[in-house]
Amino acid sequence: MEFKSAYLQGVYDTVCKRNSGEPEFLQAVKEVLESFEPVVAQKPELVEAGIIDRIVEPERFVQFRVSWVDDAGKVQVNRGYRVQFNSAIGPYKGGLRLHPSVNASIIKFLGFEQCFKNSLTGLPMGGGKGGSDFDPKGKSNGEIMRFCQSFMTELCRHIGPDTDVPAGDIGVGGREIGFMYGQYKRLRNEHTGVLTGKGLSYGGSLARKEATGYGLLYFTDEMIRCMKNESLKGKTVVISGSGNVAIYANEKATELGGKVVAMSDSNGYIYDPKGIDLAVVKQLKEVERARIKEYVNRVSGAEYHDGCRGIWTIPCDIALPCATQNELDADSAAVLIKNGVMAVAEGANMPSTPEAVAAFQKAGVLFGPAKAANAGGVATSGLEMCQNSMRYSWTFEEVDAKLKDIMINIFHNAFNASKEFGSEGNLVMGANIAGFMKIADAMLAYGVCY
């Protein structure tokens, strides 16, 4: 038995049977169900209404062919996905990932997590996720455009501003959203807030680009203030990744007084004991789309090491995994703990393995789980939807202030739920339960309609 509750064990066994061969999805479901032990004990009405049985099954899962023509005139075929996991509290909302590793398991794990994360923001958004196994690396602009147009030609049948509002994720930034939005507008002949992460000239929100990274730091700052009575000032920070989340996490960590000494990409990591020069990283990653290795040719005194896991051997006070799922395992967690890490907060989705999370919790390291700590991106996407509905734009400062409020509330909601359900300070449990309760309330109100 993996669960204390026979009911939860039964739910999990069914999920395993229905989704065999989908390890990431099963990992995500297991982690959430483990948090529900006290809910099942205290809220029998939710068990009776089958809320947990229903919440682990997506409302809809769409898989489709994406054909496009490469620069050599050859037809290429990829697989596209959209999972519409739960719409109890609002339209489905969640990003699109373009990466060769994308498959049904990854899309479902991300869509499942997204339901709780979106609920935690306090905004009316359900959970969804999508993407394709298309690899944007090394593709020309024209190839990216043709892929995105073909992808949207099918996806547009399933989405809409009041139905499902996708956004970016790994491999989908402003350029890809532009190509997809243009195609949606052309096919539907309408200008609506059907995607978020849009450019400012056609309905995007100020501060969306910065939101996940900034939000991660607002959350981390509040977590260490409330739980350790400390601040980011003077803290050494290690951030994995050098994409959208990592870059703006670095920017805000530095602004709050921390010193970021390491970043990475999927080939290796850089260590700069003086503190990373973020302008150089932005130039490399946002402008030149170059490898992080190039940093050492531009900044003296910095080191480059092949392989990304080594980044966790650098001593730090705060570790922020911002690259991808399962990038921080038990061995890396042990080294971080030995080196005296005080707090870990997840910028990426599920970057820490279950063994790593357990090790941090056992060692008393503050741990901010992804669905709370990185919710700033989707929260600001929610604010972009608000602005699109009003046909109005807020200033950067207005959006940033709302984002900060939302992140501070998320921390307190997760913390309070951990207290209420008997595990004070366990933010994994707190975030799962706080996110779940709002969805469960709405599902109870609807009766058994789907």
Q: Does 193 bind ligand NDP (CB under 6 A)?
A: no
Q: Does 177 bind ligand NDP (CB under 6 A)?
A: no
Q: Does 382 bind ligand NDP (CB under 6 A)?
A: no
Q: Does 385 bind ligand NDP (CB under 6 A)?
A: no
Q: Of residues 43, 108, 129, 371, which has the active-site annotation?
A: 129
Q: Which is nearer to ligand NDP, 150 or 250 (CB)?
A: 250
d(CA 426, CA 366): 9
- Stretch (H or E) spanning 76: strand 75-86
Contact 181, 375 (CB under 8 A): no
Q: Which residue type occupies 443?
A: M
Q: Does 324 bind ligand NDP (CB under 6 A)?
A: yes
Binding segment (CB under 6 A) for ligand NDP, from list 38-46, 167-175, 360-368, 427-435: 167-175
* Strand arrangement, sheet containing 303-306: 303-306, 268-271, 259-264, 236-240, 318-321, 343-345, 366-368
**Which residue from 210, 251, 327, 400 is in contact with ligand NDP, where contact means CB under 6 A?**
327
d(CA 396, CA 118): 22
Residue number with the smallest Cβ distance to ligand NDP: 243
Q: Does 374 bind ligand NDP (CB under 6 A)?
A: yes
Active site residue 185: no
Q: Which residue type occupies 11?
A: V
Q: Does 435 bind ligand NDP (CB under 6 A)?
A: no
Tell me how far, at minimum, the Cβ of 372 lies from ligand NDP, in Å.
Answer: 11
- What is the secondary structure of 84-126 as a DSSP string? EEE-SSSSEEEEEEE-TT--HHHHHHHHHHHHHHHHHTTSS--
Q: Does 171 bind ligand NDP (CB under 6 A)?
A: yes
CA 44 to chain centre: 31
Residues 203-242 vs ligand NDP: string with x where CB under 6 A? ---------x----------------------------xx
Q: Does 170 bind ligand NDP (CB under 6 A)?
A: yes
Q: Which is nearer to ligand NDP, 244 or 413 (CB)?
A: 244
Q: Does 377 bind ligand NDP (CB under 6 A)?
A: yes
Parallel, antiparallel, or unpaired: how do β-strands 236-240 and 318-321 relate?
Answer: parallel
Q: Does 34 bind ligand NDP (CB under 6 A)?
A: no
Residues 6+ apart with CB under 8 A from 102: 81, 131, 132, 133
Closest C-alpha to 281, from 255, 243, 310, 335: 243
Residues 6+ apart with CB under 8 A from 361: 367, 426, 428
Q: Does 347 bind ligand NDP (CB under 6 A)?
A: yes
Q: Does 89 bind ligand NDP (CB under 6 A)?
A: no
Q: Does 346 bind ligand NDP (CB under 6 A)?
A: no
**Which residue from 236, 244, 250, 332 is in contact with ligand NDP, where contact means CB under 6 A?**
244
- 269-288 residues in contact with ligand NDP (CB under 6 A) are none
CB burial of residue 84 (10 Å; 0-12, 13-18, 19+): buried
Tell me how far, at minimum, the Cβ of 338 lies from ligand NDP, in Å.
Answer: 22
Tell me how far, at minimum, the Cβ of 20 lies from ligand NDP, in Å.
Answer: 24
CA 3 to chain centre: 27
Q: Which is nearer to ligand NDP, 29 or 167 (CB)?
A: 167
The count of chain residues that interact with ligand NDP, using the rule CB under 6 A, is 24
Closest C-alpha to 347, from 278, 230, 235, 249: 249
The residues annotated with a catalytic role in the active site are: 129
| Footprint of ligand NDP (CB under 6 A) | 168-171, 212, 241-246, 265-267, 308, 322-324, 327, 347-349, 374, 377
